């Protein structure tokens, strides 16, 4: 008898599960229920159609019910909402959205892929016309229509995560002035604070009004203009702002109502709990994508990390297991990337906040290499941060920001983290090199060399965040050239250029530890090697002046 598999939800997880099932089992009966009008679309491309970079709307449609039927013999029922699961009878109750008709379907296996929904706390005004969240194509269409109809010139973005920043960038491209509100003291919280400062500076240079630690508290109708009623946004600080539309993007929450009503177990994060085979507490029911709880690949703690790549793989794994192919989903590492105007930011693994919470001992390194050989035109500096276990050297996380070459370095480091490599293993990685693409010592190799020096105690390092509290007990030493120092230095630093250091050692105190810095950390490492071999106790400031200066308030730069 043919296996009957029902799938709740399409897009990444559900659609991939359906097509994988068909490739593995030509006889299986596969039915996909999608409550919206589209079953398979490029969710991550939605902001770019709003902004016009993806010009043709149809490019976002990856499959239709007709193409899935023709190619894979899959029964796709759009605008059909699964309302209830009867686990005893192994049936689901389905509501046809357009007619209200209720019917039931039997299953041998059920895959839940309802995704996640925008988080909407009890903030007054979220239901007003002109307030949008971007989850699917109908949402996108409504935003585009509103902008055209109301000739919008100003938008408010609530939330500085990936979607909020993408929407901000794309609206700016359309000539819409943007103001962005973030409840945290930084945007892009998967990265550490010092790493996002260049992104925040880039936003302000583009004319974005950025308000950190100041979330939206209420939205009301504002001043009526010839285009209609605008919106008034009031924030926690009590300030108010006018906008023609609001994009609500403060995060998502897993869609779990169907699972909860069926008595399926949730994890500690509030998402559906699954085992390594992606089975729920009912072994006939699988769950994939943005509705499930995963294991964080570094901390090993339960996590909710909604990303398209993992959702695609999970759909495949669930299908394998249903078809008798033992397959496991091991962990999610949170590897992600975003473009903000001319800069790219990316991350993988754990940041310092996660590691501190998990009690994992770590060491962070900052470096600022060029994206490719400096003598070849178009080289741009990268800000690269690599975090490793301070006891074992095992890689724990990486973050990067820059104009070019960011994604490929984080991709390499994501593989290294998943492979369990140590920081000094990075020294030996053989990576592509030609002047237009990289350097003989790739930034990833350089990170390994720095880590090797730290682990083997050839140099000790200090972090930008330690400078202020150490200022009374250490002597800061700036080993840059005079022209660089003239553009700014860390207060109370003695200035001795590296080339003069050996001749001027007597000018340095011997009763204090020295905290040495240059522009990016390489010259100050050389200085530390000189000083250590002459009896001085010293530390190199990781990332040096470049990293430290990014954390200054804008009005002090």
Catalytic hit among 44, 323, 518, 528: 44
Tell me, yes or no, whether 126 lies in a domain.
no
Please tell me whether residues 11 and 82 are part of one structural domain. yes
Tell me, yes or no, whether 210 lies in a domain.
yes
Tell me how many domains the chain contains: 4
Token code pair at residue 241: 């702002």
pLDDT in tens for each of the 557 residues of the chain?
899 999 999 888 999 999 999 999 999 999 999 999 999 899 899 999 999 999 999 999 988 999 999 999 999 999 999 999 999 999 999 999 999 999 999 999 999 999 999 999 999 999 999 999 999 999 999 999 999 999 999 999 999 999 999 999 999 999 999 999 999 999 999 999 999 999 999 999 999 999 999 999 999 987 666 655 589 999 999 999 999 999 999 999 999 999 999 999 999 999 999 999 999 999 999 999 999 999 999 999 999 999 999 999 999 999 999 999 999 999 999 999 999 999 999 999 999 999 999 999 999 999 999 999 999 999 999 999 999 999 999 999 999 999 999 999 999 999 999 999 999 999 999 999 999 999 999 999 999 999 999 999 999 999 999 999 998 899 999 999 999 999 999 999 999 999 999 999 999 999 999 999 999 999 999 999 999 999 999 999 999 999 999 988 754 44
Distance CA 325, CA 197 (A): 47
First and final C-alpha spacing in the chain: 72
| Per-residue confidence (pLDDT) for residue 112, from 0 to 100 | 98
Distance CA 387, CA 176 (A): 38
The 3-state DSSP class for residue 279 equals strand
Tell me which of 189, 222, 250 is where a domain ends.
250
Tell me, yes or no, whether 242 lies in a domain.
yes
Please tell me whether residues 480 and 432 are part of one structural domain. no
Active site annotation includes 44: yes
Q: How many Cβ atoms are within 10 Å of 328's Cβ, its own excluded?
A: 11
Distance CA 494, CA 508 (A): 8
| Per-residue confidence (pLDDT) for residue 6, from 0 to 100 | 98
Please tell me whether residues 237 and 260 are part of one structural domain. no
Tell me, yes or no, whether 124 lies in a domain.
no
Name residues whose C-beta falls within 8 Å of residue 455's C-beta, 6 or more positions apart in sequence.
393, 423, 424
Is residue 280 within 8 A of residue 286, CB to CB? The reply is: yes
Q: DSSP characters for 312-327?
A: HHHHHHHHHHHTT---
**145-152 long-range CB contacts below 8 Å, 24 or more apart?**
146/245, 147/50, 147/171, 147/174, 147/176, 147/244, 147/245, 150/227, 150/228, 150/244, 150/245, 151/227, 151/244, 152/176, 152/244, 152/245
Tell me, yes or no, whether 161 lies in a domain.
yes
Is residue 517 within 8 A of residue 545, CB to CB? The reply is: yes
Tell me, yes or no, whether 125 lies in a domain.
no
Closest by CA to 168, choosing from 156, 153, 184, 182, is 156
| Per-residue confidence (pLDDT) for residue 557, from 0 to 100 | 44
Token code pair at residue 35: 């409550």
Any idea what the CATH number is for the domain that residue 58 is in? 3.50.50.60
Please tell me whether residues 82 and 36 are part of one structural domain. yes
**Beta strand segments in 311-415, E:** 336-340, 343-349, 362-367, 382-389, 395-402
- Cα angle 35, 36, 40; round to 5: 110
Tell me, yes or no, whether 122 lies in a domain.
no
What is the tens place of the pLDDT at every residue in 239-279? Answer: 999 999 999 999 999 999 999 999 999 999 999 999 999 99
- Residue reference for tokens 């903030």: 123
Please tell me whether residues 235 and 281 are part of one structural domain. no
Please tell me whether residues 157 and 231 are part of one structural domain. yes
What is the tens place of the pLDDT at every residue in 401-420? Answer: 999 999 999 999 999 999 99
Please tell me whether residues 523 and 377 are part of one structural domain. no
Tell me which of 250, 276, 298 is where a domain ends.
250
Distance CA 278, CA 287 (A): 6
Could you tell me what percentage of the chain is helix, strand and coil, using 3-state DSSP and rounding each to the nearest 5?
A: 30, 30, 40
Tell me which of 404, 430, 455 is where a domain ends.
455
Please tell me whether residues 109 and 49 are part of one structural domain. yes
Distance CA 61, CA 55 (A): 13
The 3-state DSSP class for residue 38 equals coil
Please tell me whether residues 187 and 233 are part of one structural domain. yes
Instruction: Give residue 105's domain range.
Output: 4-116+253-322
Please tell me whether residues 350 and 402 are part of one structural domain. yes
Which helix (H) or strand (E) covers residue 285, if one does?
Answer: strand 285-287
Distance CA 286, CA 95 (A): 21
Please tell me whether residues 224 and 168 are part of one structural domain. yes
Please tell me whether residues 287 and 366 are part of one structural domain. no
Any idea what the CATH number is for the domain that residue 528 is in? 3.40.250.10
| Per-residue confidence (pLDDT) for residue 224, from 0 to 100 | 62
Tell me, yes or no, whether 451 lies in a domain.
yes
| Per-residue confidence (pLDDT) for residue 356, from 0 to 100 | 97
Distance of CA 232 to the CA centre of its chain: 30
């Amino acid at each position: 008898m043919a296996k009957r598999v029902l799938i709740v939800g399409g897009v990444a997880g559900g659609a991939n599960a359906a097509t994988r099932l068909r490739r593995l089992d030509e006889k299986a009966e596969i039915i996909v229920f999608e409550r919206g009008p589209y079953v398979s679309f490029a969710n991550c491309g939605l902001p770019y159609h709003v902004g016009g970079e993806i010009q043709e709307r149809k490019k976002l449609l990856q499959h239709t019910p007709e193409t899935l039927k023709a190619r894979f013999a899959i029964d796709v029922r759009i605008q059909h909402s699964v309302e209830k699961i009867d686990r005893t009878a192994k049936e689901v109750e389905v509501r046809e959205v357009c007619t209200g008709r209720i019917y039931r379907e039997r299953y041998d296996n059920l895959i839940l892929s309802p995704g996640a929904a925008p988080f909407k706390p009890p903030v007054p005004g979220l239901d007003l016309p002109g307030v949008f969240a971007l989850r699917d194509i109908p949402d996108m269409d409504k935003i585009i229509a509103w902008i055209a109809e109301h000739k919008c010139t100003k938008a408010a973005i609530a939330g500085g995560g990936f979607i909020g920043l993408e929407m901000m960038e794309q609206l700016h491209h359309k000539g819409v002035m943007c103001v962005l509100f973030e409840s945290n003291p930084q945007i892009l919280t998967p990265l550490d604070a010092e790493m996002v400062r260049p992104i925040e500076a880039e936003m302000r240079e583009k004319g974005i009004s950025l308000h950190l630690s100041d979330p939206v508290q209420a939205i009301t109708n504002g001043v009526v203009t010839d285009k209609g009623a605008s919106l008034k946004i009031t924030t926690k600080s009590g300030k108010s702002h006018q906008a023609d539309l609001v994009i609500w993007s403060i995060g998502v929450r897993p869609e779990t109502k169907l699972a909860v009503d069926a008595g399926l177990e949730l994890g500690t994060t509030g998402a559906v709990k699954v085992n390594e085979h992606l089975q729920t507490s009912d072994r006939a029911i699988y769950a994939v994508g943005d509705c499930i709880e995963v294991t964080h690949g570094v901390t090993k703690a339960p996590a909710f990390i909604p990303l398209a790549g993992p959702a695609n793989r999970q759909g495949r794994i669930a299908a394998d297991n249903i078809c008798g192919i033992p397959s496991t989903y091991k962990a999610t590492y949170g590897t992600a990337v975003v473009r903000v105007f001319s800069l790219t930011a990316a991350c993988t693994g754990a940041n310092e906040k996660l590691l501190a919470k998990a009690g994992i001992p770590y060491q962070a390194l900052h470096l600022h290499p060029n994206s490719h050989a400096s003598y070849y035109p178009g080289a741009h500096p990268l800000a690269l941060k690599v975090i490793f276990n301070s006891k074992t050297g095992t890689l724990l996380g990486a973050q990067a920001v820059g104009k070019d070459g960011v994604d490929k370095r984080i991709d390499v480091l994501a593989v290294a983290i998943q492979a369990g490599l140590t920081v000094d293993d990075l020294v030996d990685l053989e990576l592509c090199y030609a002047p237009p693409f990289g350097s003989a010592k790739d930034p990833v190799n350089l990170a390994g060399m720095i880590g090797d020096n730290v682990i083997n105690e050839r140099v000790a390092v200090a972090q930008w965040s330690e400078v202020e509290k150490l200022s009374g007990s250490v002597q800061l030493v700036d080993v840059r050239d005079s022209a660089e120092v003239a553009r700014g230095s860390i207060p109370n630093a003695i200035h001795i250029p590296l080339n003069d250091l050996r001749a001027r050692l007597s000018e340095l105190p011997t009763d204090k530890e020295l905290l040495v810095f240059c522009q990016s950390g390489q010259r100050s490492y050389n200085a530390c090697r000189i000083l250590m071999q002459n009896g001085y106790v010293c530390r190199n400031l990781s990332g040096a002046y470049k990293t430290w200066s990014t954390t200054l308030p804008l009005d002090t730069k």
